[in-house]
Structure 1
């Protein structure tokens, strides 16, 4: 049976570390990290996720600012709001709750965030540096960083391992046989396809580490969540496995908090590792 990588427990450890760093910044530099959470529209799910991030900020001592805009907010008005937050010295990070209404281009809005406040790691400069050898982005996308932390703190070494990432863009138009070949050879599998229980036990190399990023609702019970991995099957084959819920989800929020603190440190010229 697979060893379960407990994302809740690891996220709790990271939150404790962030809490200590926030206290140190306040004590030594009289700075309280600030995160702006921007939401547009009345989607219940978006509101829940935005509130969750604000509550997480409160738990670790980060000051959150919830910017709640109506559904009919124009793209130009939203850009202006991002620019206002860019100019606010008390806001060190900006998080935009996606998806935005259909009349607004998500990427255009994300591109307007100052790279120094791009705590989600989606700005083209951060993504570009992440892809370049010898260059370091200011921030790594939270989900990618969450996956790496889950592996590292879960006891899985990535050095010399073959990894496969199963995502929407890789699945479309790709022969299933080729996809299965890649997965069956992989020591590490990251599942992010958005398809409930898609990854089956016989797809997985025995002993592989499987990180399930999917969060899918069950048709007959929308309140019940499952991942992209068939947990019952894969747990019998994999060496390490994250559950849903309680795996990647809490880790993504934890990494957002960590990046917000790192934004303060970078702005003040404080070493990231300094407490």
Structure 2
């Protein structure tokens, strides 16, 4: 069994990006600039945004963090987005989700300039992704493709089962892995809460992408030998033996499934660390305007 080490892979990607940025600076070309907007004081969101800022510093990017109070109006947030849209120095920006309930998330995401949408959430970029046109691919699906590629996991002609149909992970993964691309050409089955005889389907899979958000849902008796398992889920589960009082688990029963798997991502340290690395990669792409 081989662990698909997202922590190491993301560090490798950041090092590669840092070298590219160093070369841009040597040639006195534009330094990539990523901005992030956060509304309110959600602890997890603040931690994640601060990690993005630190990652920018590590690779030599310029970064801007815009913190707005919880009571920021939708119009005020739209105004901030418009300012970033027209700021020629900002190559890409993200609006950290979730937003306060009084703000329409879809309206906000629609307001982001698609050419600066390094999260890859704008319908224009989602449509280009679906048509296999050059665009920003959202960070989690992109990170999964990168892990499969760097560990030489064969996808062509394989049976893939994707568990979960969210717009952020499940749906795009089902599209990307079925496309004619280096990490693709697979036969994909997308499963969800209404799928019947789920275990019968997962047992046929050469590769499983678990993105349901249900702790330790995928058990050993639901997979075949030598399966590749990508665990996207991450949930805090109470554990009195831990100093923190909890442990982090994924959507996969790692202890059982890992005994049958050829490749598997750990939680934490698998897909999670890849997201920031791929966000940086999208920002570099935005700066270079290669598409």
Q: Give TM-score scaled by structure 2 length.
A: 0.87
Q: Write the deviation string for residues 176-235 of structure 1: whole angstroms up to 9, x where unpaired.
A: x1x222211111111111111111111112111111111111134665211111110110
2:98 alignment partner in structure 1: 99
Deviates more, 1:22-31 or 1:83-92: 22-31
Deviates more, 1:102-111 or 1:119-128: 102-111
Deviates more, 1:160-169 or 1:104-113: 160-169
Residue 209 and residue 89 in structure 1: after superposition, are their counterparts in 2 closer, same or farther (change >3 A)? same
The yes-or-no answer on 1:181 pairing with 2:200 is yes
Unaligned runs of 5+ in 2: 167-190
2:114 alignment partner in structure 1: 115
1:12 alignment partner in structure 2: 11
Q: Give the superposition deviation at 1:92.
A: 0.6
The 3-state SS of whatever aligns with 2:203 is: helix
The 3-state SS of whatever aligns with 2:115 is: helix
The yes-or-no answer on 1:164 pairing with 2:161 is yes
1:190 alignment partner in structure 2: 209
Residue 152 and residue 4 in structure 1: after superposition, are their counterparts in 2 closer, same or farther (change >3 A)? same
RMSD, matched Cα: 1.5
Work out whether residues 210 and 242 of structure 1, in 8 Å CA contact, stay in contact via their aligned partners in 2: yes
Corresponding residue to 2:274 among 245, 251, 271? 251
Q: Write the deviation string for residues 83-115 of structure 1: whole angstroms up to 9, x where unpaired.
A: 111111111111121111111121211111111
The yes-or-no answer on 1:144 pairing with 2:165 is no
Number of matched residues? Answer: 263
Task: Give the helix-richer structure, 1 or 2.
Answer: 1
Q: Give TM-score scaled by structure 1 length.
A: 0.91
CA distance in 2, matches of 1:58, 1:197: 35
The yes-or-no answer on 1:214 pairing with 2:243 is no
Residue 32 and residue 222 in structure 1: after superposition, are their counterparts in 2 closer, same or farther (change >3 A)? farther
